[in-house]
């Protein structure tokens, strides 16, 4: 067996060990500092506390030589969790979940780095969480950040959600760079299979279990890799785009003789393509076309193993772009469509032109991006004539959301049901129109809010003489404001008078010191308004799908839905219960109105964002979403 290249753990000099640890610590702190800057943390004390926490955790873990000591210290930390407040416990759980997500997303470079640190620290056995630059150290830094920045429980959870993607990207790059730097310093990955004593005791009684394959000479391994690339070329030339014999290269016996980086990259690419092949939301014809990427990507993985760990590699970016195009096709897509032709042409070119220069991936990506941009620009131009009407509808939607939010805030005082019904179904309409006409900085808007607030106050039991006198003096003016408001939104006189009569009865109770809520009659709210199709004012031939009226809550929107963009498909329910599908052509500036080109007749349809969110909450919305292949 070949001797290990580079210094053994016992022979690492103190200066080399110290240099490596200093460089790794500095790189970790630089990465965390960059993430903080990306998220606009500029306070010196916040940055200092965050980085100090990471530095202390790094140094503590770097000083633990064995798993037993680490496990005992970790158990002491866990025992203290039960003594903290419930919100801190929730934050601790979320931090733990984030650490696991980071570990899974950086699995390959993180595992390699763990083995290199075992060599660096002369560890015989170490837990994955014991790695000084690992996700657990990042978690300690985030806890310090939350504390020093004074974030409340909800803000802490949001911080973790917002930072997740950026941390994954940054840590992948960090771990890849640290692997390269430690390798340059001669610090290899520790082999967990080289303990002579354990090997002898394990195999002494059963010689058949002795590992048979010795380490291969590096030059021979590279020769084998190049031969496999030639073999893939031969298979491609003789058997079509994705010959069956080359479909599971990573599971062949020869794959075990490849350099470890190439073997791991092949396995990673095969897993990604297998996920794609099994993704039912992508039309069959598109999956069949994309299967032609298998041989070019396997060849690339053999030549450039970093493709498995670098999302910014041109091949990875091209795969992402092709999968996005495929995911936007209709479920019943047939051969011959423009997008499918583009996918097939891209895959075919890679099969023909990729030999040993990965520049072709970037070239195909450029062609694909240009074609997509031209197609979406042409789609958007088709709806240019609707721009004024769409902007008007957007102002109305923004005003409705703002008015509803104001009503929800006012009703936090829990007024009588009669008042709640009035504010939600009538006064919210007045507020919306006031916003549309005068804006939220106008005296008219302020006055309308004051009337609503005064109505709520007037319905509270008045037990003090001063309060009763104040209510008596304000009632005539309050009633007049309510009457004027109802007339302004054209409420029928009989409905208006009936509402004011109910208020008068409740005011009598309040003046006598009794809670009007205890004696008010039952109020039956009308059924929620149904989704409907309205004409867009001033725009011939354009309708808008929406559910008008008061919004009882702001919907929770999943991140993927908030990032919808032109070109993606939406599937939703129409007022008559039928299912419809369309491609997003353009989105209004504040993302309140989405204009679709409907399938199959290409008719235009505007959809309010509030309706998209409502159908998402009701599980009646579907939208094209490219699968994550490498995470």
Which residue do the tokens 């709640």 mark? 420
pTM: 0.58
Q: Is the pLDDT of residue 85 over 80?
A: no
d(CA 304, CA 358): 9
Q: What is the mean pLDDT of residues 91-117?
A: 83
Per-residue confidence (pLDDT) for residue 238, from 0 to 100 = 60
d(CA 118, CA 123): 5
- What one-character DSSP code corresponds to residue 555? P
Task: Indicate the range of 127-131, 224-228, 292-296 predicted with least confidence.
Answer: 224-228
Work out the angle at residue 571's Cα, subtended by the Cα atoms of residues 565 and 574, and round it to the nearest 5 degrees.
120
Residue 508, beta-bridge partner list = none
CA 573 to chain centre: 25
Confidence grade of residue 222 (pLDDT, cut at 50, 70, 90): low
Q: Is the pLDDT of residue 467 over 90?
A: yes
Is 532-623 in CATH node 2.30.30.140?
yes
Q: How confident is the model over 357-376, as pLDDT tens digits? A: 889 999 999 999 999 999 99
Q: How confident is the model over 406-449, as pLDDT tens digits? A: 999 998 878 999 999 999 999 999 999 999 999 999 999 999 99
CA 65 to chain centre: 38
Contacts (Cβ under 8 Å, ≥6 apart) of 514: 461
3-state secondary structure of 571: strand
Q: Is the pLDDT of residue 570 over 90?
A: yes
Task: Indicate the range of 117-126, 467-476, 539-548 predicted with least confidence.
Answer: 117-126
Confidence grade of residue 50 (pLDDT, cut at 50, 70, 90): very high
- What one-character DSSP code corresponds to residue 424? I
Per-residue confidence (pLDDT) for residue 75, from 0 to 100 = 38
Confidence grade of residue 548 (pLDDT, cut at 50, 70, 90): confident
d(CA 177, CA 196): 32
Confidence grade of residue 249 (pLDDT, cut at 50, 70, 90): low
Per-residue confidence (pLDDT) for residue 205, from 0 to 100 = 36
Confidence grade of residue 130 (pLDDT, cut at 50, 70, 90): confident
3-state secondary structure of 47: helix
CA 340 to chain centre: 27
Q: What is the mean pLDDT of residues 40-53?
A: 92
Confidence grade of residue 11 (pLDDT, cut at 50, 70, 90): low
Terminal alpha carbon distance of the chain: 36
Return the sign of the alpha-carbon dihedral for residues 232, 238, 239, 245. negative
Per-residue confidence (pLDDT) for residue 202, from 0 to 100 = 37
Task: Indicate the range of 262-271, 388-397, 493-502 predicted with least confidence.
Answer: 262-271
- What one-character DSSP code corresponds to residue 604? E
Q: What is the mean pLDDT of residues 341-363?
A: 92
Contacts (Cβ under 8 Å, ≥6 apart) of 300: 269, 307, 315, 354, 358, 361
Q: What is the mean pLDDT of residues 346-360?
A: 90
Which among 157, 133, 127, 129 is positioned nearest to 143, based on CA atoms?
Answer: 157
Higher pLDDT, 526 or 598: 598
Per-residue confidence (pLDDT) for residue 407, from 0 to 100 = 93
Q: Is the pLDDT of residue 214 over 50?
A: no
3-state secondary structure of 584: strand
Whats the size of the chain, residue-wise?
631
Contact indicator for 125, 66 with CB cutoff of 8 Å: yes
Per-residue confidence (pLDDT) for residue 105, from 0 to 100 = 85
Q: How confident is the model over 571-605, as pLDDT tens digits? A: 999 999 999 999 999 999 999 999 999 998 899 99
d(CA 180, CA 172): 12
Q: What is the mean pLDDT of residues 346-366?
A: 92
Per-residue confidence (pLDDT) for residue 209, from 0 to 100 = 41
d(CA 197, CA 405): 71
Residue spans of alpha helices (H) in 308-386: 314-327, 338-353, 359-381
- Furthest-apart CA atoms within the chain: distance in Å: 103
Per-residue confidence (pLDDT) for residue 66, from 0 to 100 = 57
Average pLDDT across the chain, whole number: 83
Higher pLDDT, 336 or 171: 171
Q: What is the mean pLDDT of residues 2-20?
A: 65
Task: Indicate the range of 175-184, 205-214, 308-317 predicted with least confidence.
Answer: 205-214
Task: Centre a 10 Å sphere on the Cβ of residue 92 and count the other Cβ atoms it contains.
Answer: 17
Per-residue confidence (pLDDT) for residue 128, from 0 to 100 = 79
Task: Indicate the range of 215-229, 252-266, 320-334, 454-468 predicted with least confidence.
Answer: 215-229
Task: Indicate the range of 46-50, 217-221, 499-503 predicted with least confidence.
Answer: 217-221
Per-residue confidence (pLDDT) for residue 430, from 0 to 100 = 96
Contacts (Cβ under 8 Å, ≥6 apart) of 541: 604
Contact indicator for 32, 138 with CB cutoff of 8 Å: yes
Q: Is the pLDDT of residue 300 over 50?
A: yes
The two three-digit tokens of residue 20, written as one number: 């490596």
Per-residue confidence (pLDDT) for residue 374, from 0 to 100 = 94
- Domain residue ranges in the chain: 9-184, 218-381, 414-518, 532-623
Q: Is the pLDDT of residue 210 over 70?
A: no
d(CA 356, CA 53): 46
Q: What is the mean pLDDT of residues 512-533?
A: 82
Per-residue confidence (pLDDT) for residue 2, from 0 to 100 = 36
Confidence grade of residue 251 (pLDDT, cut at 50, 70, 90): low
Contacts (Cβ under 8 Å, ≥6 apart) of 445: 431, 434, 435, 438, 439
Contact indicator for 593, 397 with CB cutoff of 8 Å: yes
Q: Is the pLDDT of residue 481 over 80?
A: yes
Higher pLDDT, 20 or 529: 20
Per-residue confidence (pLDDT) for residue 229, from 0 to 100 = 75
State percent of the chain over pLDDT 70: 83
Confidence grade of residue 534 (pLDDT, cut at 50, 70, 90): very high
The two three-digit tokens of residue 292, written as one number: 């032609």
d(CA 278, CA 298): 18
Q: What is the mean pLDDT of residues 80-89?
A: 41
Confidence grade of residue 6 (pLDDT, cut at 50, 70, 90): very low
Which among 426, 435, 425 is positioned nearest to 400, based on CA atoms?
Answer: 435
Q: What is the mean pLDDT of residues 335-364?
A: 91
Contacts (Cβ under 8 Å, ≥6 apart) of 261: 305
In the β-sheet with 622-623, what is the strand arrangement from edge to edge?
532-535, 543-546, 604-608, 593-598, 579-587, 569-573, 622-623
């Amino acid at each position: 067996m070949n001797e290990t290249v580079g210094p053994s753990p016992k022979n690492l000099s103190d200066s080399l060990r110290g240099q490596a640890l200093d460089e790794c610590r500095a790189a970790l702190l630089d990465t965390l500092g960059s993430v903080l800057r990306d998220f606009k943390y500029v306070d010196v004390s916040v940055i200092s506390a965050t980085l100090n926490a990471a530095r202390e955790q790094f140094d503590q873990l770097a000083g633990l030589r064995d798993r037993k000591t680490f496990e005992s210290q970790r158990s002491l930390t866990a025992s203290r969790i039960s003594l903290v407040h419930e919100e801190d416990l929730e934050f601790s759980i979320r931090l733990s979940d984030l650490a696991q997500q980071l570990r899974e997303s950086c699995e390959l470079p993180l595992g390699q780095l763990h083995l290199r640190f075992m060599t660096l620290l002369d560890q015989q056995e170490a837990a994955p969480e014991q790695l000084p630059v690992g996700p657990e150290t990042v978690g300690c830094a985030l806890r310090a950040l939350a504390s020093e920045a004074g974030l409340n429980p909800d803000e802490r959870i949001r911080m973790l959600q917002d930072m997740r993607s950026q941390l994954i990207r940054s840590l992948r790059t960090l771990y890849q760079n640290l692997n390269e730097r430690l390798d340059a310093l001669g610090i290899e990955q520790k082999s967990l299979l080289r303990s002579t004593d354990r090997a002898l005791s394990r195999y002494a009684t059963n010689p058949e279990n002795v590992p048979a394959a010795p380490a291969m000479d590096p030059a021979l391994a590279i020769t084998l890799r190049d031969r496999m690339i030639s073999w893939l070329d031969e298979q491609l030339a003789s058997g079509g785009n994705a010959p069956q014999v080359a479909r599971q290269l990573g599971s062949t016996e020869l794959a075990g003789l490849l350099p470890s980086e190439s073997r791991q990259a092949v396995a990673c690419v095969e897993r990604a393509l297998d996920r794609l092949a099994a993704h039912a939301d992508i039309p069959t014809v598109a999956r069949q076309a994309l299967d032609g990427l298998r041989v070019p990507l396997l060849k690339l993985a053999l030549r450039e193993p970093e493709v498995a760990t670098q999302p910014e590699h041109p091949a990875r970016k091209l795969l992402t772009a092709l999968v996005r195009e495929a995911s936007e096709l209709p479920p019943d897509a047939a051969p011959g469509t423009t997008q499918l032709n583009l996918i097939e042409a891209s895959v075919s070119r890679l099969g023909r032109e990729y030999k040993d220069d990965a520049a072709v991936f970037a070239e195909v990506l450029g062609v694909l991006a240009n074609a997509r941009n031209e197609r979406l620009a042409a789609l958007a131009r088709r709806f240019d004539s609707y721009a004024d009407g769409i902007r008007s509808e957007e102002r109305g939607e923004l005003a409705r959301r703002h008015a509803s939010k104001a009503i929800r805030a006012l009703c936090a005082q829990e007024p009588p049901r009669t008042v709640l019904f009035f504010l939600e179904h009538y006064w919210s309409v007045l507020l919306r129109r006031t916003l549309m006409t005068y804006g939220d900085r106008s005296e008219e808007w302020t006055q309308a809010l004051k009337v609503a607030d005064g109505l709520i106050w007037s319905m509270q039991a008045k037990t003090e003489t001063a309060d009763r006198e104040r209510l008596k003096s304000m009632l005539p003016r309050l009633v007049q404001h309510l009457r004027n408001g109802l007339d302004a939104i054209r409420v029928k006189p009989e409905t208006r008078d009936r509402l004011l009569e109910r208020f008068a009865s409740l005011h009598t109770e309040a003046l006598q010191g009794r809670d009007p809520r205890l004696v008010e009659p039952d109020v039956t709210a009308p059924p929620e308004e149904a989704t409907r199709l309205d004409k867009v004012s001033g725009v011939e031939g354009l309708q808008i799908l929406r559910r008008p009226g008061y919004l009882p809550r702001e919907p929770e929107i999943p991140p993927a839905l908030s990032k919808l963009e032109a070109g993606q498909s939406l599937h939703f329910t129409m007022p008559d219960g039928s299912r419809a599908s369309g491609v997003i052509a353009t989105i209004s500036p504040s993302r309140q109105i989405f204009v679709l080109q409907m399938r199959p007749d290409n008719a235009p349809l505007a959809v309010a964002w509030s309706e998209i969110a409502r159908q998402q909450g009701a599980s009646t919305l579907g939208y094209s979403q490219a699968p994550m292949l490498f995470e």
